[in-house]
Amino acid sequence: MFLALKEMRKEKLRYSLIIAMIVLISYLIFILTSLALGLAQQNTDAINSWGMQSIIMNKDADISLSQSLIKKSQAPSTLPKSQAYIAQAPIVAKKSGHDQVSGTFIGLDNDQFVAKKITLTSGHLAKSRYQLVVDDAFKESGYKLGDTFKLNGNAHAYTIVGFTHNAKMSVAPVAYGRLSAWATLKNVPTTMIASAIVSTKTAPKAGNSALHTYDKDTFVQKLPGYSAQNMTFEMMIGFLLVISLIVIAVFLYILTMQKQQNYAVLRAQGIPGSVLVKSTLSQAFLMVISGLVIGVILTVVTAMAMPSAVPMAFDVPILGAVALALVVIAMLGAVIPVRSILKVDPVSVIGG
Amino acid sequence: MQALKIEHVDQFFGTGASRVQVLHDVNFEAKAGELSLILGPSGSGKSTLLTIAGGLLTPTKGNVQVAGVELGQASAKQKEQLRLNHLGFVLQAYHLLPFLTVNEQFKLVDHVKKSGNLSADALTHLLEELGLTPFVNAYPSSLSGGQQQRVAIARALYPDPAVVLADEPTAALDSTRVMQVGQLLQDLAHDRQKAVVIVTHDVRLRALADHVYDMVDGRLTQAQ
């Protein structure tokens, strides 16, 4: 560490430039990770809030909630406490003087567990067919408690009776209402009872040959665009980690090459190779930690400056794991010049 | 007592048709308190002899003893320890670490060799003797060639070695500095009881040596 610190202190500009590269890479990785997390959360916030473990859907719906329909005749006469109907329909809220809001209607039975899991930030649950509890995103479009508006050009007006936070599904804000409103909004016959049945149990029996039970992860992965979006971000983060490996390895290799003569003298003087290796690894560690700290500060500042419409989320364990991956990769990058340190020939400094 | 003893050393480089013998049955001894000068032109094999004496190269044939340790029997680690504890190198191009101040060049040794180095008082005295006291916090880049060479000599002496091996120590110095550095190396031998071996083609140092050897085409002979 002695050599590492002394060299970095003397060669401030050189090491600052390398740290700047690490800052930029880590900053980009953190921003992308936060965006990936934010988008993933906005896909699944509502689903996560329900506390479900599995879902029973029409087996021909390709695990798509918007395609699934359950007939009254296919559903059991009464659901156990661990199960609840959910009825999904796409909606467009339209009120004069306000922005249009595209969202997802989720019809619920207030006596079942999903409705009981909804945390209200204001108001109360829908008590009648034309009442809604909507996500806070509606507020950003100018809607407030007591507002009435039409959905999907439907003749009836709906009233906001409550707001809830982080109720989003496939990035669209959710409007919770009664099951009885769903058939009209979805424009399906009244023989249909809901889109799906969610359960707090891991593998409840579907109870009908037309239905099938899927676990939560399978359901989430099949949300429109969810897997493709996550894979895109994972690829970008993965490539950035590989780029950081190359950048750190190349810079340290160049620095090591420039110091070959010094290393040769030190080896001739009996300084063990392990001391020089530790010095290089320490430099890599110090540079990556410095870069990460500055990268984190920049990310936090950026997140604070971003408008709330930008979906950024911070999950300390995940961001910590990304930072750890960057440290590991930097140390792997430092191993490449280490080989040349160990192979340095002290004889090269003796003689003209 | 011989601090350095070289017996019947042959050294070959290359293989097959390109095999070349650069040292022929070399015998040499360096004793504490004496300055030995090995003179020879470029390519005569004197630097090869120095690398063998310093345990950096294993001779094709023959024996080398440093401070009583037979190098042929020593592992790479033991040779490393031997260089750290018993050998001091003074090199032609100084090769001071550019990012360490004069003082820190010695601290580096402290980090690796925890005991047996010169005491703080002895180092202060040595730096005074070498005229380096005003430069203890200076980086090598701000020192002249002569000052850097004196720092390199101090650096070689700091672990208190039995043998000091100097490779063309005056090659980069002007003529006034040559005799100063030569005198310094003689003082090391006589006053500090080191076995000092200088390989050089600079005949001006001849007058300062206790023993002078000529190296011609890999053959070492004592000069008359």
pLDDT, average across residues A144-158: 87
**Of A74 and B93, the one with more pLDDT:** A74
Residue B36 in contact with residue B198, Cβ under 8 Å? yes
**Cross-chain Cβ contact A10/B104 below 8 Å:** no
**Cross-chain Cβ contact A269/B83 below 8 Å:** yes
For residue A261, the chain B residues in CB contact (below 8 A) are 93, 95
Banded pLDDT at B1 (limits 50, 70, 90): low
- The residue in chain B having the minimum alpha-carbon distance to the alpha carbon of residue A261 is B95
**B165 falls within a domain:** yes
What's the pLDDT score for residue A197? 96
What's the pLDDT score for residue A335? 86
State how far residue B159 is from chain A, nearest Cα, in angstroms. 10
For residue A351, the chain B residues in CB contact (below 8 A) are 47-48, 50-51, 167-168
- The residue in chain B having the minimum alpha-carbon distance to the alpha carbon of residue A3 is B108
At B25 the three-state DSSP class reads: strand
What's the pLDDT score for residue A100? 85
Asked if residue A166 has pLDDT above 90, the reply is no
Q: What is the dihedral of CA A130, A131, A133, A136, to 10 degrees?
A: 80
**Per-residue tokens: A294:** 């500055």
CB pairs under 8 A between A and B: 77
**B141 falls within a domain:** yes
What's the pLDDT score for residue A211? 95
- The DSSP secondary structure of A264-327, one letter per residue, reads HHHHHTT--HHHHHHHHHHHHHHHHHHHHHHHHHHHHHHHHHS-TTS-----HHHHHHHHHHHH
Which residues in A137-156 are b (16+ Cβ under 10 Å) and which e? bbbeeebeeebebbbeeeee
CA-closest candidate to residue A252, choices A65, A82, A14, A50: A14
How far out from the chain centre does Cα B214 lie? 17
What's the pLDDT score for residue B113? 85
Q: How far apart are CA B4 and CA B65, in angstroms?
A: 6
How many domains does the structure of chain B reveal? 1
Q: Is B56 in the A-facing interface, judged by CB distances under 8 Å?
A: yes
For residue B89, the chain A residues in CB contact (below 8 A) are 265, 268-269, 350
**B125 falls within a domain:** yes
Banded pLDDT at A302 (limits 50, 70, 90): very high
Q: Which of A322-331, B73-82, B171-180 has the lowest mean pLDDT?
A: B171-180
Match 């992860």 to its residue by tokens.
A217
Asked if residue A247 has pLDDT above 90, the reply is no
Query: What is the CB neighbour count within 10 angstroms for residue A212?
Result: 16
Strand partners, B9: B26
What's the pLDDT score for residue A352? 55
**B27 falls within a domain:** no
What was the ipTM of the complex prediction? 0.84
**B26 falls within a domain:** no
Quick: pLDDT tens for A186-236.
Answer: 989 989 999 999 999 998 898 899 999 999 999 999 998 899 999 998 998
**Of B91 and A70, the one with more pLDDT:** A70
**Cross-chain Cβ contact A270/B57 below 8 Å:** no
Asked if residue B2 has pLDDT above 80, the reply is no
What's the pLDDT score for residue A30? 92
Q: Is B168 in the A-facing interface, judged by CB distances under 8 Å?
A: yes
Quick: pLDDT tens for B99-129.
Answer: 999 999 999 888 888 888 888 998 998 898 8
Which of B92, B99, B167 lies nearest to residue A11, judging by beta carbons? B99
Quick: pLDDT tens for B192-204.
Answer: 899 999 999 889 9
| In chain A, domain spans | 2-43+227-349, 69-194
**B60 falls within a domain:** no
State how far residue B56 is from chain A, nearest Cα, in angstroms. 6
What's the pLDDT score for residue A159? 95
Which of B56, B91, B112 lies nearest to residue A275, judging by beta carbons? B112
Q: How far apart are CA B151 and CA B128, in angstroms?
A: 11
Strand partners, A291: none
- The residue in chain A having the minimum alpha-carbon distance to the alpha carbon of residue B47 is A351
User: What global pTM score does this model have?
Assistant: 0.76
What's the pLDDT score for residue B178? 83
Banded pLDDT at B25 (limits 50, 70, 90): very high
- The DSSP secondary structure of A204-263, one letter per residue, reads ----STTEEEEEHHHHHHTSTTHHHHHHHHHHHHHHHHHHHHHHHHHHHHHHHHHTHHHH
The pLDDT mean for chain B works out to: 89
What's the pLDDT score for residue B114? 84
Residue A203 DSSP code: S
pLDDT, average across residues B78-87: 89
Q: Which of A54-58, A263-267, B42-46, B176-180 has the lowest mean pLDDT?
A: B176-180
Please compute, for residue A169, the number of CA atoms within 13 A of its CA located in the half-sphere on the CB side: 24
Quick: pLDDT tens for A113-130.
Answer: 999 999 999 999 999 999
| CATH classification of the domain holding B145 | 3.40.50.300
**Cross-chain Cβ contact A6/B57 below 8 Å:** no
**B95 falls within a domain:** yes
**Per-residue tokens: B212:** 């002078």
Domain of B156, in residue numbers = 32-55+74-222
Asked if residue B70 has pLDDT above 70, the reply is yes
**Cross-chain Cβ contact A270/B107 below 8 Å:** no
Q: What is the end-to-end Cα distance of chain B in Å, rounded?
A: 23
3-state helix, strand, coil in chain B (%, to 5): 40, 30, 35
